Structure 1
């Protein structure tokens, strides 16, 4: 409960601007109870990454790539769902993993390591899906799975930032249209 409520608060306010007192007030636990579970805020933040973001990534970012036969459709459907349909991911707050990456990787090696693991899991799953698509004839043989993956991932994180600036999902629509065009050119 502490991790879930703290994560929701951090997603809205940001990690560095959320104090332990904010977390305690939101979760309604005592300081003693907080410190019973975590030595400090960074230990709690790392637990959020391990116990909330990693499983969410597996369910929302990786599993969809493994369920559809055509990875081009799977990639588009995944990004579309994350941008337009996901109830938790709010346009005004961006991508939680990207937010943690921007806020914490310059200052904390442990955060950098876990966030890199999370990113690598998504990257590995997308590369594998694209390679499967090449073997099954959905994607041209000359396509670099790694390049496509980095392009799609960076586009997703980038458009999330534009969404935060605009505070509107309408900014996602031209991106999604161009993503569809790009993916169709890989067939």
Structure 2
């Protein structure tokens, strides 16, 4: 990786941390510059504006991480009910990437930016659809294998799972980890009935 690429990546990583804690709209370019200690010229060399940097966060940080944490666990799943539960459990309990006080970075951006930027909405919808499609594919495969009931609609289950995750991440901000524990208990019961 060249020095220029390292600088760009560094700006994205530090911006991600700031935006995760403060929100996209509350984080200014000056905040990013103060945190990264890069010059304003260096910032604008890599990004023409804050929106381009924000879209870089989605495409270069959120998308690959979402793919690794939310899609890969479901690829070629032999037991989607168990794999979905384990994935959700890891997402909610792994504190190395997420902080209960700040919720989920992708959900936060969806809530904050979808109504105010069609560009953000389009890019964030790609993240959601990637996860949605992975869940649907795993459930369709499980139906074909007789592992889940044929009278369930995988698309509906995927929406239920994703909205439940988004909701509990938001509730966790005010209720703490107890919300995660209750959600995981209910999720396990729900999945076993599929």
1:138-177 matches, within 5 Å, as: 138-166=147-175, 168-177=176-185
Deviation of 1:175 (Å): 1.0
Match of 1:63 in 2: 72
Residues 9-52 of structure 1, C-alpha deviation per residue, up to 9 Å, x if partnerless? Answer: 10011100001010011111000000011111011000110100
2:75 match: secondary structure: helix
Match of 1:35 in 2: 44
- Aligned equivalent of 1:178, options 170, 186, 191: 186
2: CA distance, partners of 1:42 / 1:163? 28
Does the 8 Å contact 2:18/2:32 carry over to 1?
yes
Deviation of 1:85 (Å): 2.1
The TM-score normalised by the length of structure 1 is 0.96
Residue 3 of structure 1 pairs with residue 12 of structure 2: yes
Unaligned runs of 5+ in 2: 1-9
Residues 80-136 of structure 1, C-alpha deviation per residue, up to 9 Å, x if partnerless? Answer: 110012411110000111110111111111100000111000000110000011111
1: CA distance, partners of 2:78 / 2:17? 34
1:82-97 matches, within 5 Å, as: 82-97=91-106
Match of 2:26 in 1: 17
- RMSD between aligned residues: 0.9
Unaligned runs of 5+ in 1: none
The TM-score normalised by the length of structure 2 is 0.93
1:177 match: secondary structure: helix
1: CA distance, partners of 2:26 / 2:19? 8
